[in-house]
Each structure stands twice: as C-alpha cells, then as structure tokens.
Structure 1
Amino acid sequence: MPDNIVASSEDSGIKVTEWEYQVRTDNGDTVKSDWSPTVRATAHPRTAPPPVGIVTTATATGVDVVWGAPTGPYTDTIDRYQVITFDKDTPGAFIDSTSVTGKSIHIDGLTPGHHYVVAVVTWNAAGGGLPGAGRAVTIGAGSPPAPRDLQVTSTDPTTVQLTWSGSPQAAGYRVWVRNINSGSQSSADEFIVDTTHRDIAYLSPGTWNYEFCVTAVNGALESAKSDCVVAPHPASG
C-alpha cells in the first residue's frame, strides 16, 4: 500500500517525493494478514513536466489536440509526446494512446456522442512524466447549450451547493463567481466538473455576497453563461 507522504522541492526546483510502503497477504475479503512494517523510499524524478496550453477541439469522429513545449528541468531531452484518450461512456474501456514528435495531432475513429478524457504526456531521456489534462470533449457535438435551472443553496455561512440542468453535448461545466459588492467581474478557473453539481467553500465574508453562473464546455468550445443567481443567506436554526 504505497502512501505519498511528502512533496517538496530541492534548491534546483526539482520535485522530490517520499513514499511509505506496506504490504500484506490477501486470501479473500475476511482472510488478510497484518500489515508489514513500514519502509520509506524517496523518488528523484528526472522526467519533464507536462506540456502547456493544451487545447482540445472535438470533430465529427475524433479530436484535434495542440499544445506547447514545457520549460524547466529535464526539458532539454524531450523527444516525443504521448496523447491519451479515454472513453468515459463505454464500460470497461481501455486507455488509448498515440505517440508523436510534434506538438499537434488529430485522433480519428472515436465514437460520436461519447465523452472523452484527453491528456498529453511529455517523454524525455528518463521516460514519460505526469500527464497534463486538456479539456474533455464530446465527439461530434459542437458547442453545447447554456446550462439551465441553476439553483444555489447556502449550506453554511461560507459554503454553497450549486445544481443545474446540463446537456449531453457538454463534456463538462465551469462555475463563474462574482462578488456583488466589490464591483469585480465574474471569473472562473479551469476546474471543470463533469457532473451537474458543485460545492464551493470559503466564501468570506458570507455566501450572500456572491453571484454564480455556469457555462458548459466541449473542449475549446464554451456556451453562453446560464442565468446568474445570488446566493441566499443560510437557513437559520
């Protein structure tokens, strides 16, 4: 049972990760040994960081993917990229991957209407690094419609629960947030959920100071915003 317990940086900026390991025998749900003593191992990876600026665009039967080369330690020996796709709508689907030496690819033969995860891995002299995620895509779907029926519930003074109605064309959703008292513009990060609900916490000084909207995404395509809703005060008692 590996357990990642420490993540830090050396002076050179290279990630150093320490792991703890334990093992035990397993002869069924109720027949297990005790865990072994814990041992530690420290990883000093020399793989390159993931690509930057990954952009995904669904086509009628596939996906176009483009990205930029990363910078930093161990990028001087990059010789190829691995593009990963995974069909989220096919039970038991396997991860597919294709290797290219450039920084773009078209992958064809995907199932129209299905939702796919897309990621890109950098390979250098030490091997493949961690994948960088692009936006998920819905094959052949085009630009999704705006989400509907946004509901915002304050579950406590600084936490909200959002729910909305989505569409099959959407591969994911972004939540936009605006402080209604500061004059700020509505903004969203790249945290994209593939469900039609999301909780957001730490809304200081209180949820009722914030307005929320939702957009639907399909790779690089994005819908207009849903109707925006200001969070209510939490129910008393």
Structure 2
Amino acid sequence: MDRFAIRQDVIKVMVVGDSISHGREGDWTWRYRIWEWFEQQEISVRFVGPYAGTSPPNKPQPPRPPRLIDQPPEPPPPLRTDGAYAEGVARRFLANSNHFAAGGRQTHQAKDIISEQVAAHQPDLCLVQLGFNDLGWRVSGPVETLASMKHLVDHARSAKTDLKFAIADVPYRTDLPGRGDLPVSTKIYNDMLAQSIPYWSTAKSPIALVQFCKNYSCGGSNSEAAYDGLHPNALGEYQIARAFSQTLVSDFNFGRSALVIPDKIPPRPLSTPANLRAAPAPSGIIITWDSVYGAFGYDLQHRLAGEGDWESTHVDCNRYDQQWLHKGQTVECRVRTSGGDTLKSAWTHIASAVANPQTAPAPINMVTHATSTGFSISWTNPPPPYAGDIDRYGITNFDSDQPGAFLCKVGVRGNQAEITGLTPGHRYYISMETWTTFGGGIPAAARAVLVGRGSPAVPTSLRARALDALAVELAWPEVLDAAGYDVWVRREGPIHGRLGVRLSPTLWPLPESMVHVSDGTIPGCKTMKAILPNMEPSVWDWEYAVEAYNGDDRSGLSEWLTPPPLAPEKMSLATTDLIHIELKHG
C-alpha cells in the first residue's frame, strides 16, 4: 500500500483490544511501551477512549447460591478499568493512557459498539488487537471472525471516514488439551486477514497489517513472552509494541525506526502474602490473607491434618472458602503469590482451623430420567435435624463427552426439576447440594444420564476370569443406551461379614467407588471391563452379574456366573490392590 503520514500537531490514537491490551494491575502494558516509543520518536500523540486503567483484581466475597432456574441470568458485572499500572510508569503516561480495550472482548462484540466510541473520541488512528476470544472461546470460526473484523472497520468508518487502522493478527497460545483446532483456526484466520486487508484499505482510510503472531514468542510449548500461555509478561509487552511500531514505520511513515527491545527486561516484583488466617465459619472454613500488589492470583494448598499430600487450587483474590467439611475436621493451608505459570513467591507459614459447619446434608432419594434434551430429577428433603431453613437446592451437571466442559449449576426450589438445553447423545454426571442460610452443604451424586436415550438393554455375553484367588475380571459388550453400569455380587452361605447376616442368597451392588467401568458410545467397538479386588474368601465363593442404567431407568440383571478355576501356577499371584480400568477396541 502507499506510504501515508498523518500531518497534524497531535495525533489521536485509540487502542481497540481485549485483555491482552487492557492489562492487569501491576502491568506495564504494551500500550505504555508504544507510548514510550512515540515519545522517543518525538511524535505527539493523544491516546483516547472511554477507559484509562488496567483490570483490577477481583474483590473477595463469600460463595453465592446458584441462580434459580426460573430467574433470568444476572447482567454481567460492570466493567472495571480502574486498575493501576506498574509502579515505574512515567507520570505523564497516567494522564495519557486512555484506551478502548477490555478483558474478554470479542471482535463480534466490538463491531457493534465501535462507531459510538469513534464518534465520541474522533481518533485519527486505531491500533486494533482483537480476535483471540472469538476463536479461543469458539464464538466463531475464522471466516465469521474475519467478517466481524470487516464490520468493525465499516462501522468505525461510518463515524469517521478518514480513520486509519493498524490491525494485528491473532497470536498463538500454548497448547491446550482438547484444543488442537485452535492453532489451525488461528493460522487460517491470520492468512485470510493478511490477504483481505489490501482490499479493505483505501487511499482515504488506509489499513495495514500488524504481525503480532510473528513477533510474539508464544505458541506450542513456548511461552517465553506470556505469563500464562497467552497474556504478555514484561517481555511480551515489548514484543507487541514492537510489532505495532514496525507497521507504523513501514506503512504510515511514523518515526525513524521501530521499537528496540532492551536487553534487560524489568522483573515483576512478587512478595509472599502476609497475615494468612484460617477461621471456622458456618459454611466451613474461611482462609484470608493480605493482597499483594500486581499478583496474578494466588496458589493455595490445603489438606486435612495428618494427611501428607496437599490439594492445590488457584484463586484470583485474597480469600478462599473451604466448604464440604465435617464437624471436627482440622484443615491446614498455605498460600503463595503467583506471577504466572513460572513466577511464584515463597510459601507462607501453615495456618489451620477446626471446622464446625452448620450446613445441611444433600437431599435424598434422588431419581433421574433422561429426556430428549436433558434430564428430569426428583428428590426428598434431607432428614432433620439441620440448622437454618432450606432456601434452595443446587443441581450441577457436567458433560463428560465434551472436552474442556465446565460444571453447570442452577438453583431450584421444591422437589423436582427438569434441565433442558443439553446435548443429545452426551453423558452427564449429576449432583445436588442443599443451600440454607448458612451456605451450601456437601453434595451427593445422582444417577448419570445419557441424554436423548431411553432404558438400556440387559447386558449380554458376560464373561468372568479369575486373575488370582481374590481378584476377578468381568467383561461384557457395550450397551449403547447405558450411562453407566452396576456390578452385583451374591453369595450363598450361612454367614457373611461382621454383622453375621444370613444370606440365602443375598445380592447387592458394589459401590461405584470400588468398581470403575470403561464406557463409550462407538457402536460395536468397545468392550466394558471391571476388575474387583479382595473378593474374600475367594472369587469362586461369589456369583457376579451386571446391570446397565440410564439415570434410574435400569436394564435388569445379566446372567449370573462364577469364573472357572485357575491353572495351579496362577494361584500364588499377589492379590490385586488397585481398581483397574481397561478399554479394548475390537
């Protein structure tokens, strides 16, 4: 395209972007680095837009009950843009830091609000960094995202016909499990954007491509420029600013040379949190500490006293509510500040507290049935006594067949509900908890469902094989409409167990925590297997059967059988101690 220079005393610049451009509290931001470059090149600029700061940390608050299913979704919280910058930024920048970038923003959203901002602030030049959220959150594919970018340009031009654009392509992020599509769609979009920009550009309103992706050291297993696999650290901020400066020099004739990244990148200050406290509360235990300026959240570890291994979680603010505890349990915890995936502070000391929860137990007698687009569920109130009045129940479902799926929770009142809008053919795990004035109680699992399917057929062709004297392997062909299976055992004889109950015969399902079954939905290709350990006095003293279920719609039991005897040399094998899961294709 023709080289173009904007000739006026002060150039008004609007940065249009998402969280990569918005930044978080304590960031320098690439917006600051490009401001420094303008200063060094002696180019007078005025940054314009409705916001001036970074994104501040979340405010600590207690857990909230889930939204009732018959209530409309809550409006999104107001955009917070009052976060501060790194402590070393020039004071002149703080008076010239306006922008139009917000965390989570998509090109699909920005295209509909850009004309209002251009009309209000009348920028001469837009530095556009958008597109990752469209592709990364599967809002749209490459073609639709490109169309959104073209609409953004058109709508911005409708408010100012001579507006100039420097539009960045989309960076790669580090690999995510289950998202092999993301680098592919990113490359397709970037290629199409580079091919389209020359056709979008006009003499009056020129557009140039910014090679963000090429200049940014991130993608695959490389995260040199990003603190979390995507968002820029101090080096990444320089790299993004350099990419924009290259385009401004080469395509708009701004400045004498592109930004030079210094050899020494300023480190991010990171102190250990102070005043860690753990205190009992009606909902469990509340863990708090003093916030650390510039933290990208905190790594928290907790465990029950006497246990060796820590459980780890990441929190965005300086509070964590440890729920789902029993009275008298002692919880130990410690915390450290996170500056990203690889930058951490030292751990705090260990704090502890004894739980005395006042929450109610989960409802009982939960019954689920799959429907064409979800499931129905009914239940009975938990038996008293418990403190407080029941306000609502929380129903959680999880799509186990969707990679990267999130837990979905809604609140209900009464004793039955129907959940819709789920994906037919997918398996959903379901749980419920009771919410009182003291918070949410420990959840309990209901039967999983396979949405859009009916009652499963009885499992057939069950086979049993003794692995040794105390462990047996069961195998059977997949039942297509089954969300899961129960393994049943029975034994004839005078005495069983410590209670001395006479069984003649008696049968019961083994707990799901003891028996794990590989499952699937590929017709004719999968064999279910379950291994049962510790079948005393021996595996041959028991009979085994399998039942398929879809919610509380059950198939009925398969045939009963006992494994054939082992060869003599197998009898000395050690007892299996661990539950085994195996999936065979054939």
TM > 0.5: yes
Residues 517 and 530, structure 2, Cα contact 8 Å, conserved in 1: no
Residues in 2 aligned to 1:217 and 1:203: alpha-carbon distance in whole angstroms: 24
Evaluate the alpha carbon distance shift between residue 56 and residue 146 of structure 1 in structure 2; reply closer, same or farther with a 3 A threshold. same
What displacement does 1:126 show?
0.9
Residues 427 and 483, structure 2, Cα contact 8 Å, conserved in 1: yes
In the TM superposition, 1:1-237 aligns within 5 A as 1-5=301-305, 15-23=327-335, 37-181=349-493, 183-189=504-510, 191=512, 193-195=516-518, 196-234=528-566, 235-237=570-572
Evaluate the alpha carbon distance shift between residue 86 and residue 145 of structure 1 in structure 2; reply closer, same or farther with a 3 A threshold. same
1:170-206 deviation digits (Å, cap 9, x = unpaired): 1110011011455313322553745233232332221
Residues in 2 aligned to 1:122 and 1:30: alpha-carbon distance in whole angstroms: 39
SS of the equivalent of 2:506 reads coil
- Worse-matched range after superposition: 41-50 or 191-200: 191-200
1:41-99 deviation digits (Å, cap 9, x = unpaired): 22211110000011101111111100010023435411111111111111111111221
Residues in 2 aligned to 1:75 and 1:56: alpha-carbon distance in whole angstroms: 28
- Worse-matched range after superposition: 72-81 or 129-138: 72-81
Residues 539 and 563, structure 2, Cα contact 8 Å, conserved in 1: yes
Residues 172 and 193, structure 1, Cα contact 8 Å, conserved in 2: no
Residue identity opposite 1:236 in structure 2: M
- Worse-matched range after superposition: 74-83 or 47-56: 74-83
What displacement does 1:142 show?
0.3
Residues in 2 aligned to 1:197 and 1:110: alpha-carbon distance in whole angstroms: 28
SS of the equivalent of 2:540 reads helix
**After the TM superposition, which segments of 4 or more aligned residues of structure 1 sit over 3 Å from their partners?**
22-39, 180-183
What displacement does 1:132 show?
1.4
- Larger Rg: 1 or 2? 2
Residue identity opposite 1:4 in structure 2: L
SS of the equivalent of 1:71 reads coil
Residues in 1 aligned to 2:446 and 2:379: alpha-carbon distance in whole angstroms: 9
What displacement does 1:39 show?
3.3
Evaluate the alpha carbon distance shift between residue 127 and residue 194 of structure 1 in structure 2; reply closer, same or farther with a 3 A threshold. farther
What displacement does 1:27 show?
7.7
What displacement does 1:208 show?
0.8
Give the equivalent residue in structure 2 for 1:10.
none
Residues in 1 aligned to 2:471 and 2:382: alpha-carbon distance in whole angstroms: 36
What displacement does 1:138 show?
0.5
> Percent identity over the alignment?
38
Residues 486 and 546, structure 2, Cα contact 8 Å, conserved in 1: yes
Residues in 2 aligned to 1:209 and 1:125: alpha-carbon distance in whole angstroms: 51
Residue identity opposite 2:402 in structure 1: T
SS of the equivalent of 2:329 reads strand
SS of the equivalent of 2:571 reads coil
Aligned residues between the structures: 231
Residues 171 and 194, structure 1, Cα contact 8 Å, conserved in 2: no
When the two chains are superposed, the root-mean-square deviation of aligned CA atoms in Å is 2.7
Residues in 2 aligned to 1:146 and 1:63: alpha-carbon distance in whole angstroms: 22
Residues 158 and 202, structure 1, Cα contact 8 Å, conserved in 2: yes
Residue identity opposite 1:52 in structure 2: I
Residues 388 and 437, structure 2, Cα contact 8 Å, conserved in 1: no
